[in-house]
Amino acid sequence: AIVVHGGNVAGFGFPAPSPIYHTVRWDVEGCELTVPNGTYRVTLQFVEPAYDAPGKRVFGVVVQGRTV
């Protein structure tokens, strides 16, 4: 299960290429996933419905205390 800390959620009124993009979440403080020990490849996928100018969508990603 995924636990999301903070943030807001909104849905879209237009079709998206995949159901995973039918909602957007912003101002998220963090997410937690419980997985068995091991090596994982993490792929982050985003949709940006609001901003179309460079520098408007700025974020950082920290995994186990390390900025990646």
Whole-number pLDDT of residue 21: 78
Task: Report pTM.
Answer: 0.58
Backbone angles phi, psi at 67, to 5 degrees: -70, 130
| Host H or E run for residue 27 | strand 23-33
Structure-token pair, residue 12 = 């879209």
Give 5 or 45, the one with higher predicted confidence. 5
Question: What contacts 56, CB < 8 A, 6 or more positions away?
Answer: 50
What's the pLDDT tens digit per position in 6-58? Answer: 999 988 777 777 787 788 888 888 888 888 999 989 888 777 777 778 888 78
Q: Are 68 and 51 in contact (CB under 8 A)?
A: no
